[in-house]
Amino acid sequence: MDDMQSSRPEPDQSGVTQPSRSSKHRERGSKSPRRRREAKRPPRRGETACRPPPPPPGQRDEHAAHTGTATETETETAEDGCPKRRAHFLHGPCPATHFGPKACILPNPTSVMHIQDPASQRLTWNDPPSNVLVIRKIRDESLLEPFKELCRFLVEEKQMMVYVERRVVEEGSLSDDQLFGSICNQLCTFREGFDDISDCIDLIICLGGDGTLLYASSLFQGSVPPVMAFHLGSLGFLTPFKFESYKTEVTKVFEGNAAITLRSRLKVKVVKAALQEQPLREGEGEEHNGFLPLPLLPAHGPPCGEAGKVTLQLQVLNEVVVDRGPSSYLSNVDLYLDGRLITSVQGDGVIVSTPTGSTAYAAAAGASMIHPNVPAIMVTPICPHSLSFRPIVVPAGVELMVRHLRTSIKITTSCYPVPSICCHDLVYDWFESLAQCLHWNVRKRQAGLAHPSDSSDTEN
């Protein structure tokens, strides 16, 4: 987005933006408050806070056009000449908010806070689905019969084009089944990493545990089709459907009669600094925690722009973990937020997770559990060396960067979430998973106190 600059009134000590006042108004400072309130005057230009003009329609964020969420970004120039990106909160108040006298929000449609009703997130098909991807947990003999039943139902009764992995079809116990041979010949197969099916799939059905849904997310690095996950694994926190009623549930989904949860993902970019032949300065060649640090990055501040080589770029659903690996020493990584150094993490590592990942590794590290519909990013230290280092939650629109030696990992919220289909609704399913899978706040009921007449202390 093009750079936008605007002149804003300076805030006073209370933090409220004061409008600019003319000299004529300052000369009337001796007028009583009652007369000032009773005096009717037309609104002046300085009564509202200045704001930058809205961007052209063609330059709006792709995520806003895809999900209907209002997002705007501003680009400023820092003192060192590096561009600094500032992102607004995805689901917070509209940035173009008008303030009137006494800092009150003017009553116009663009100034109200947009809070989406969770019940309004429903699955809607523009066209009836025709291509279905079925993902099955491999090397699990207990899933062969459910897989056969589902494929037979989709091909024969629903007339769907079913896609499966080639290694699933080539599995010995499935390829030797002659009764399933006619259905197997109608399946479309693909190989992970070789065949691109991102533009072919309308719906994903997972048979297994949470790992099948995570694997489905990794197959689609762009837009992800709706995912329907059946609980046939061990934990099943992300798989709310029971396979016993699969025909009824799948039919409801084909008709568009289902709630949906947009599980946000993280866009991860790993950047390695270019090797430079520089003379060692004093102290740079000394051993620190068993390692010889390389003087490849600037001594202060993050690298400017996209300096270096992007070695990896991924869309992840759960979390990004930077740990000390096999080393027995503390890891020391720097954490940046929108280009500014926030803190240095000294410990076993750091976890940057989505709300979906807050119930995974981050929960084991002591973090809070966040509902997947909350737009946020959680930062959790792993066994920090400081007891005051608690997990924090930052808005989903910021850009985090974890830097260690000559490697920088840039993390921000992806504009391609994972649409996860709910069994009941997105609130009930989540709390049901907390109770059934994680046994959240599950304990034996506290016994009540005995009646005073039954107590031996009151007999006398």
Which residues are the active-site residues?
A: 210
Report DSSP state, residue 446.
P
Q: In a 3-state reduction of DSSP, which class is residue 259? A: strand
Q: Please check whether residue 112 is in contact with residue 102, taking contact to mean a CB–CB distance below 8 angstroms.
A: no
CA distance 318 to 370: 12
Q: What sign for the dihedral angle of Cα 362, 364, 369, 371?
A: positive
Q: Please check whether residue 18 is in contact with residue 11, taking contact to mean a CB–CB distance below 8 angstroms.
A: yes
Q: What sign for the dihedral angle of Cα 4, 7, 10, 11?
A: negative
CA distance 71 to 89: 7
> What is the signed CA dihedral for 409, 213, 116, 411, rounded to 10 degrees?
0
Bridge partners of 147, per DSSP, are: none
CA distances in angstroms from 456 to 254, 450, 451, 459, listed in the order given: 66, 11, 11, 5
CA distance 357 to 380: 11
Q: In a 3-state reduction of DSSP, which class is residue 131? A: strand
Among residues 188, 239, 199, 236, the alpha carbon closest in space to that of 221 is found at: 199
